[in-house]
A and B are shown apart, each in its own frame.
Chain A
């Protein structure tokens, strides 16, 4: 249920910016969410819809882009992406791989009706 806190923070971040742009309505919000964030998209959408009630963001669609984990294998040189933590190279099976990213929680952009 940590999605509730995220939904509240998201609304708090967006509303002042939307108002500054003279928005009558926020129609869509695009988020980039790391696969390591343990965010359930359906929960976040539902809870955002709930907290946005009565604001200009009521009814806005949440579009969620995944931020994958970047995998880099020093043994075989493979560079790829994963949607969860992996300990061994998906290509050659070697351990000691490098992982990065997958932890974004960013507002990419949002659409408004002026």
Chain B
């Protein structure tokens, strides 16, 4: 009996990446922009999506996939706004795995969607590791969480193209230095685009919505921002 070393050199999560590639193909076929929204619990993801639906209404057709460990509370909130929505209850999973998103897509009419927003489970570790074939990963960070978050959870901030700093209406009440968070985010991810906003006052929401609309335009070959 001989002991032999087999060279591999492949990503551990290759099967997840292969599943994500299938999703990417589905998104491309439907010419929709897929957004994977990640953050810690309570950063205001659902409220941000509600505000984006308002800001993009009429320009882009939005659909939302909600991911939570339990309940369809978030989907009910989105449904009231009259857009397509499907709730994933992940149960034992702390993130949305690609196969669950693929199943969820079967419940949506993707031909009638321009921008698909996937609200991942609130968690700054696991969703960062698992690609969903998205065009854009957006990290949301609320000012109540502290400006050191990008240093504590670097992978999610490294892999996100856009960073939404939310709840800026609360800045007078918390110790949160916008410059610190932006320096940290840019050191980890030099290309990150940072948007400051408050879904409650509406400040900054239009600029963020415009960026998503422009990214969809570019994907389908209209204009090139």
Contact = CB atoms under 8 A, between A and B. Distances in A.
B223 interface: no
A37 B154 CA distance: 8
A2 B129 contact: yes
B224 interface: no
- The dominant DSSP class at the A interface is mixed
A24 interface: yes
Interface in A84-114: 85, 87, 95-99, 102-103, 105-114
A109 B1 CA distance: 19
A31 B12 contact: yes
B207 interface: no
B47 to A, nearest CB: 26
A103 B13 contact: no
Interface string A28-53: 00010010111000000000000000
A105 B12 contact: yes
Contact of B8 (A1, A95, A110): A110
Given A6-B13, A85-B187, A105-B13, A111 B155 contact: no
B3 A111 contact: yes
Given A36-B154, A98-B190, A107 B9 contact: yes
A24 B10 contact: no
Contacts of A113: 1-3
A9 interface: yes
Contact of B187 (A12, A37, A87, A106): A87
By size class, the interface of chain A is 35 or more
A106 B4 contact: no
B6 A17 contact: yes
B136 interface: no
Contact of B129 (A37, A98, A99, A110): A37
Contact of B6 (A18, A34, A102): A18
Interface residues of B, number: 32
A106 B9 contact: yes
Contacts of B107: none
A34 B150 CA distance: 16
Contact of A5 (B7, B9, B126): B126
A106 B184 contact: no
Contacts of A111: 3-6
Contacts of A96: 187
Contact of A103 (B14, B150, B158): B158
Interface string A13-27: 110011001001001
A2 B15 CA distance: 16
15 contacts: A5-B126, A9-B16, A34-B155, A37-B129, A38-B125, A85-B150, A85-B188, A87-B151, A98-B190, A103-B158, A106-B8, A108-B7, A111-B4, A111-B6, A112-B6
Interface of B: 1-16, 94, 125-126, 129, 150-151, 153-155, 158-159, 183-184, 187-188, 190
The 5 A-B pairs with the shortest beta carbon distances in the complex, nearest first, are A107-B8, A36-B154, A2-B126, A109-B7, A105-B12
